[in-house]
Structure 1
């Protein structure tokens, strides 16, 4: 196990801030997302991937489609209507949301477009009833200054928030439509090469600028950070979702840099072994053999009519359980991948014999699959209808390990780590929205936005400290809290 050095990892971090707007209505209808509870109705959808206008499938959509999930929606008539159900076209774009997006663009010196076009972004994880999220590119470029740090702005978008996830069980995901359609501003910053603390300062500075505009929502869940992280020689960019706390942001950046550096080290070992792509000859159905195992986990899986499969990995001995850094293992990565198909996990040779699978069982498998001591295998149990997708995903992930860090989307967890969520989406997910006409931005709109740029954070602190006779530190803590509108 090696010692990890953040400074030597060549880490680059790009921030995307998603901030709800407090306009009193949703982006494409007059419903309020914060209305008192009303009558709850439920309905079910199944969402499937379709080809883009260029005839290509988005990889993230294909992955979600292969999970074969049903979506159960909870719709409250006080905070949702037929627009959220995708049973009625969107209404006109909320004018106040548009004005706020222009003010944010002006405050960040971003170049505002003369015409704003709505686009559809394919999303079939159930977070949107239509299978897409509406988003509008408002401006590009700009600069964020936070103390001694200057970070470039890539883009500023106005979009609708997703439905609120309630849970997932037995092949069914549940969402509430109260949050779906709430106006959201997305600010994407240029990648920076800095410490986790510097990344936090950039996120903190942008959050303070948004609060200075006043018309943004406050509280847990109203602002979220997505983080795009890459390391030197990783050959991929990983998007981290689900970050809501600044303390968590620092821990996640530190963890993800260590994880990716560990995967780079594993790939360097594998390149020396000349690993080949997995073929159908490397995949074995061992359900018949597994019926004799004493493992309670395997016997339970067989009783549930699961197929027990093994994937033979040539020249892979010791790799799946190898830890370049504490808690970073390729076997763990594969285990996280299969869990998103509803599969409990995997067994592999670096942790066997164990779990009721004895040494004689392992030796028989080696003989059955024509393996040597230099080889390894992965064992997985899953329903017949999912087996092909699961085995294909494992095979692709194993080969990707030889290249470095796979580009994927991961979910931040409270402890500061990340887990696999889905493949990273591609360009095929975007296409034009045909129900919303272009929004014309006049010179007067831009002038009005520039006149409403908020005061600097330092000026706001100074005025607050003077007004309430506070020291600078107390004034800053007060303004950072949820007690100030």
Structure 2
């Protein structure tokens, strides 16, 4: 029997344009949605390329070239350092500003012992965006949604940001108190997260990271089609995880980075085992055939082979070792 209907087949889409980068999209179960999903992803990549250059121009940094193949690593590193210095890592507990809030959402959260943490985003006022739909009802790309997507990976339901406030029962007066608490300039934006302290901290750290990335080309990542009631909501996508490398290795997210002393790093680099190319180069002068070299290397017999090379002719020794894997 052949199973039919949604869910019986799955397609992964890979989308990239010159000014963006490769994004893998999962959850494309309905073939009819694929053109729309691709179009919206292309629009998203173009939007964030333009936004990156808007942010870089405002910060006095060199603009991104229109083709990612023209990117310069040294320039990007310099921009990253300059931008990071402008974005504070400090999170502010602004729960007190909402002590008398009439927002049901905020009141319930604070009543459960959650906190409202705030993060300042200098120079981003008006750039986070508000919900706007295209002619087919799909949400247009906006940075605020990307920041919320980053926060949700920490397990929170979402965040509030200044471009969309006052709303959700949060008043203009409360917004002003938050701006004052964060010492924001007129062009500054902010993001709020209501959750247990540890979770809100993780969420806003992710938000800051995504805000910094907004000054660069979009990251390679795996995204998932936004689904509602088992079907695509509007063709837009949300982040899932970084795109794995060629060896299908994902960055480890559960183990904190290990700080390594420079002398330890130098010692490790000086004592690395030989590369495959170096191992083969050691065998080349012995006169072994390519096939014998391949087998010796694949079975990791090269050290023992070289150790006993003075006891027998090279090809005879190789044949003996490959036949018995001993010497």
TM-score bucket of the superposed structures, by smaller chain: 0.5 to 0.7
In terms of fraction of residues, the more helix-rich structure is 2
Distance 1:309 1:423 in 2: 26
Matched residue, 1:365 = 178
Tell me the SS of whatever aligns to 2:83. coil
Go from structure 1 to structure 2 and tell me whether the alpha carbon gap of 1:285 and 1:427 turns closer, same or farther (over 3 Å shift): farther
Matched residue, 1:418 = 237
Matched residue, 2:169 = 356
Deviation at 1:311, TM superposition (A): 0.7
How many aligned positions are there?
Answer: 214
Q: Deviations over 1:402-451 (max 9, x none)?
A: 113222211124132222222323456549xxxxxxxxxxxxxxxxxxxx
Matched residue, 2:113 = 305
Answer yes or no: is the 8 Å Cα contact 1:258–1:325 preserved in 2: no
TM alignment of 1:237-256, pairs within 5 A? 237-256=22-41
Matched residue, 1:224 = 10
Answer yes or no: is the 8 Å Cα contact 1:225–1:242 preserved in 2: yes
Distance 1:389 1:424 in 2: 21
Is residue 265 of structure 2 the alignment partner of residue 265 of structure 1? Answer: no
Matched residue, 2:201 = 388
Distance 2:131 2:170 in 1: 23
Q: Deviations over 1:48-73 (max 9, x none)?
A: xxxxxxxxxxxxxxxxxxxxxxxxxx
In terms of fraction of residues, the more strand-rich structure is 1
Distance 2:38 2:201 in 1: 34
Answer yes or no: is the 8 Å Cα contact 1:347–1:380 preserved in 2: yes
Answer yes or no: is the 8 Å Cα contact 1:240–1:412 preserved in 2: yes
Distance 1:258 1:218 in 2: 34
Distance 1:315 1:302 in 2: 29
Go from structure 1 to structure 2 and tell me whether the alpha carbon gap of 1:430 and 1:332 turns closer, same or farther (over 3 Å shift): closer
- Structure 2 counterpart of 1:377, from 186, 190, 201: 190
Q: Deviations over 1:72-101 (max 9, x none)?
A: xxxxxxxxxxxxxxxxxxxxxxxxxxxxxx
Distance 1:259 1:370 in 2: 32
Answer yes or no: is the 8 Å Cα contact 1:262–1:324 preserved in 2: no
Answer yes or no: is the 8 Å Cα contact 1:265–1:324 preserved in 2: no
Answer yes or no: is the 8 Å Cα contact 1:227–1:241 preserved in 2: yes
Is residue 117 of structure 2 the alignment partner of residue 331 of structure 1? Answer: no
Which ranges of 4 or more aligned residues in structure 1 deviate by more than 3 Å?
322-326, 426-431
TM-score (norm 2): 0.60
TM-score (norm 1): 0.41
Distance 2:97 2:37 in 1: 42
Deviation at 1:339, TM superposition (A): 2.9
Answer yes or no: is the 8 Å Cα contact 1:228–1:238 preserved in 2: yes
Matched residue, 1:276 = 83
Distance 1:269 1:239 in 2: 26
